[in-house]
Amino acid sequence: MKLLLGFALVSSLAHAASPSDCWTLVHHGQNARACFTQLTQSSSAYERAEGAWGLEDWQAANENFRDAAKVASSHALVKVRWALLLHERFNNAEAADLFREAIEQDPNFAPAYLGLATVQAEDYSGNPNEAIAKALALNPKLAGAHELAAKIALDNDNRELAEKEADAALAIEGEATSAMATRAALELIADRPPDVWLAKIAAVNPHDGAAYMQMAHHLELHYRFNDAATYYRKAVEKQPELWAAHSALGIEEMRLGRAEEPQKELELAYNNGYRDPATVNSLRLLDSLAKFKTVKDASTVLILDPKESDLLAPYVQEELHTILATYSKKYAMELHGPVQVEMYPNHEDFAVRTMGMPGLGALGVTFGQVIAMDSPSGRKPGEFNWGATLWHEMSHAYIITATNQRVPRWFTEGLAVHEEGQRSPEWRDRVTSDILLAIRDKKLMPVDKLDRGFVHQEYPGQVLVSYFQAGAICDYISNTAGEAKLLEIVHAYADGQDTKQALQSVLHLSPEAFDTQFLASIDKQYGKEAQGFDVWRAKLKALVAASEAKQYDDVIANAPAVIALYPEYAGDANAYELLADAQHVKGNATEEAKALSAYMHAGGQQPELLKRLAALQEKAGDASAAIATLTRVLYIYPVRDTELHKHLGTLLMAAKQYDGAVREYAAAVTTRPLDMAGAQYDLASAYMAAGQRDKAQETVLLALEAAPDFRPAQKLLLELQQTK
C-alpha cells in the first residue's frame, strides 16, 4: 500500500494511464507491465520515473525523478515518490533527506511526513509516531499513516493500539492490505487462526507476498523465529519474485542456525538485484563463517574465529556448562539439543546478525538456541564482559523455549539482566547517568507497557533505560517475593497469560499496584542519587581538576564524598581511580588497593586497573585475592595478553590449583608467545603437578623440540623418564 502513497493528489497529472492506475494493478496482483511501459513514453519526467520504477529500471527511475524535481513548479509529491524509490532501493539516509526537503517545500503535504515516519520506523530511529501524528493532523484520511501506526504499535507489543489503527486504516481504505497483515499478525501472536484476514488479503491480491513478510516480521519481533521463517517462506511461495522475502528468509534461516538454505535464499535475492546491506553483509558473513572453527561437545556448539578458537573455546565451553547446569536446575527444564554460540572478533560481522532487529543488539543476540555475540577481541578492553553476556543470552534461550516463544520482551530481557547479577553482583546492570536522569524525570514506563520502551524509542537512550528497568523489576520481585516467583511468572506466560494476568496470578497485584510498589523501591534505592546527580557531576569535575593539578591531598579528602553520591559510577574518570592514583603517589599501597577493590566491586572492568589491584594484593601477600581479581579479567579481556595467563598460571601453581594452572598455561601457549618453549614448559610442569604425566611428557617434548637446550625442560624430561 505504501506505493500508493499520495496518489490522490496527482490524478490531475494523469494522461491515458496514470501512475496511480498502474500501481493499483500491482496492488491487486495484476500484470501492470504494459501500463508502466506506457508511462515511460510520457512527456512528463515524473511519469517516466514512475514507469521505469514499475519496470524495475531503478537507474532510469532515479534519473527521471531527478529531472522532475528540477522543475521549479514541481509538486512536493515528486520528492516524496523519489524518496520512496530510494527507500525501496536501500538508501534510507538520502530518502530521509528528500522527505525533509519535501516538507520544506510544502509543510502541509501529509505524505511527506508519512514517508519520513516510514524510514524512521524501519531504522528504529527518531520518533516515527510524531511524524505520523503530523501526517494525520494534515490528512485524517491518510490510510497509510494508520497502517504504519498499527505496525509500530505491534512492534511495541501495543496490541490494542495496533488493532485500533489497523481498523482505522481499513475504515478509510477497504483494501489496505498492510492493515490486514497487522490484524493477521495479531491473531498469530495470540495463537489464534489468521484465516479470515488471510482470505481478505487474498481477495485483494492473491499473490501478496509483502503481507506475509509483514506478518513474519511481527512474529520475529515476538521471538517467534520458527514461525517467522514459516511466514517468510509463505511470502516467497505467494510471490516468488519478491526478492526481499527471499533475503529475509535466508537471514531468518541463518538465525536459526541452518546450514545450506540461507546461502541459497540470499544468493537468489542477490542475483536478482536485491542487494541491500543485510543481504550483502549476510552473504559476506557466510563466507567468513565457512572459515570459522566449530568446537562441539554433547551440549554445546561453538563457532569461533580460528585465530582465537584455541584460546576462547575452553573458557566459553566451561562457562556454558556451568550455565546449562544452573539454568536447567533453576528453570526445571532442558534445552532441546545443543546450544550454539557464535563469537565474532569483527564487530561488523556480529552487527550483520542483528541487522533489522530492534533494541541494543550491541553485545549479543539470541535466536532460539543460537546465540551470536561479540568476541572479547571485538571490543575495547573494559567495554565488554563476555561472561555476563553469555549468561544474559542463555537466559533468553531458556525462557523463550520454556514459554514456547510466548513471552513479552520486557520480561525476558529483565530476567536476563537479573541473571547477570545473580551470577555475580559485579555484573549486574549499573545505573548510568541516562538512567538516573530517567528516574529523576519520572520517565520509567508502567510495567504492562514496558515493551514499548525497547523497540521504537520515545527519547534517546530509552532502550537502555528499559533494560535497566526490566532488570530492576525482576530484582525487585526476587527480593520481595522470592526468586521462585520469577519462575512462576515464566509459567504464567507459558500458559498464555499476559503481563496483567501474570502479575495478578503470581503476585496478586494489579499492574498499577505493582508499579506503585516498584517505583517506591526505585525511589528509595536511587532517588537520592538521581536528585543529587548534578551535585555529583560538579564534584567529580572538581576532583578531576584537582587530580590534574596534582593536588593529591584534595583528591584523597574529597573522593569518598564523590563516590558516596553515586557509588555505581565506574566509567571514565571515576572517583575510585582518581583516589587510587592519589594514594599511589602518596605511597600508600594499602589505601590504593582499597580504592581499586571498591572500584572492582562497583563493577569497574578496566583490565589494567584490575591487574594493578592484583599486583598490589600479591605484593601484600594475598595471593588468593590476586587470583580472584585476575580471574575476573578473564571474563573481560582474555585475548592478546600472554602475560595475564602466564602470571595467573604461576599464581595458581603456587596455590596448588593445578587444573587452573593447566588452563592458564595452556591459554598462554595459544597466544603464540615469543617464548613458546617457555610457555610449553610451564604447561608441562602444570600437567606434571596435576598428575597428567602423559600430557606432561608430550608437552615437554614440544618445548624441547623448539629449544633442545632448555635446561628446566630437560630436567623435567629426565624426571619423567626416571619415574616412569
Partner 1 sequence: MKRLLLLLASFIVTLHAAAATYYVTVAGLGGEPDYEQRFTANAKDLDKVFRGIAGAHVLTLTGTQSTAAQLRTALAGVAQQATANDDFVLVLIGHGSFDGTEYKFNLVGPDLTAVDIAAMCDHIASKRQLVVDTTSSSGGAIAAFERSGRIVIAATKSGTEKNATVFARYFVEALQDTSADVDKNDSLTAAEAYTYASRKTAAFYESQKRLATEHAVFNDTGRGEAVRDAGGGQGQLMASFTLLRYGAAQKAASDPAKQSLLAKKEELEQKIDVLKYNKAAMDPADYKKQLTAALLELAQVQGELDK
Query: Would you tell me which residues interact with partner 1 (CB under 8 A)?
Result: 640, 674-678, 701, 704-711, 713-715, 717-718, 721
Nearer to partner 1, 336 or 380 (CB): 380
DSSP 30-44: ---HHHHHHHHT-S-
Nearer to partner 1, 57 or 383 (CB): 383
> Closest distance between partner 1 and the C-beta of residue 676, in Å?
7
> Closest distance between partner 1 and the C-beta of residue 722, in Å?
10
* C-alpha 430 chain-centroid distance: 18
* DSSP alpha helix (H) spans, 441-574: 462-481, 483-494, 499-507, 511-531, 533-548, 552-565
> Closest distance between partner 1 and the C-beta of residue 699, in Å?
13
Beta strand 339-344 with 370-374: parallel, antiparallel or unpaired?
parallel
> Closest distance between partner 1 and the C-beta of residue 682, in Å?
11
Q: Map residue 469 onto helix, strand or coil.
A: helix
**Distance (Å, whole) CA 712 – CA 709:** 9
Q: Map residue 223 onto helix, strand or coil.
A: coil
Grid cell 564524598 is found at: 561
* C-alpha 73 chain-centroid distance: 46
Nearer to partner 1, 187 or 675 (CB): 675
Nearer to partner 1, 194 or 649 (CB): 649
Cβ atoms of 185 and 214 within 8 Å: the answer is: yes
Residue 264 CB neighbour total at 10 angstroms: 13
DSSP 509-526: --HHHHHHHHHHHHHHHH
Nearer to partner 1, 247 or 697 (CB): 697
Residue 175 CB neighbour total at 10 angstroms: 18
Phi, psi of 510 (to 5 degrees): -75, 160
Nearer to partner 1, 136 or 704 (CB): 704
Cβ atoms of 406 and 336 within 8 Å: the answer is: no
Q: What is the DSSP letter of 343?
A: E
Cβ atoms of 456 and 121 within 8 Å: the answer is: yes
Nearer to partner 1, 481 or 706 (CB): 706
Nearer to partner 1, 260 or 709 (CB): 709
| Cβ within 8 Å of residue 212, ≥6 positions away | 181, 231, 232, 234, 235, 238, 245
> Closest distance between partner 1 and the C-beta of residue 698, in Å?
9
> Closest distance between partner 1 and the C-beta of residue 645, in Å?
14
Nearer to partner 1, 298 or 674 (CB): 674
From 316, 322, 263, 328, select the one nearest 289 (Cα to Cα). 263
Q: What is the DSSP letter of 304?
A: E
> Closest distance between partner 1 and the C-beta of residue 323, in Å?
32
Residue 435 CB neighbour total at 10 angstroms: 26
Grid cell 608437552 is found at: 699
Nearer to partner 1, 311 or 717 (CB): 717
Grid cell 483494501 is found at: 175
> Closest distance between partner 1 and the C-beta of residue 684, in Å?
13
> Closest distance between partner 1 and the C-beta of residue 614, in Å?
18
Nearer to partner 1, 141 or 715 (CB): 715
Grid cell 507491465 is found at: 33
> Closest distance between partner 1 and the C-beta of residue 715, in Å?
7
> Closest distance between partner 1 and the C-beta of residue 629, in Å?
21
| Host H or E run for residue 166 | helix 159-172
> Closest distance between partner 1 and the C-beta of residue 17, in Å?
60
Nearer to partner 1, 259 or 674 (CB): 674
Q: Is the dihedral of CA 114, 120, 126, 127 positive or negative?
A: positive
Residue 99 CB neighbour total at 10 angstroms: 31
**Distance (Å, whole) CA 89 – CA 274:** 8
Grid cell 528509595 is found at: 524
Q: Cell for 594?
A: 582499597
**Distance (Å, whole) CA 117 – CA 149:** 9
Nearer to partner 1, 336 or 711 (CB): 711
> Closest distance between partner 1 and the C-beta of residue 385, in Å?
21
Nearer to partner 1, 619 or 715 (CB): 715
> Closest distance between partner 1 and the C-beta of residue 712, in Å?
8
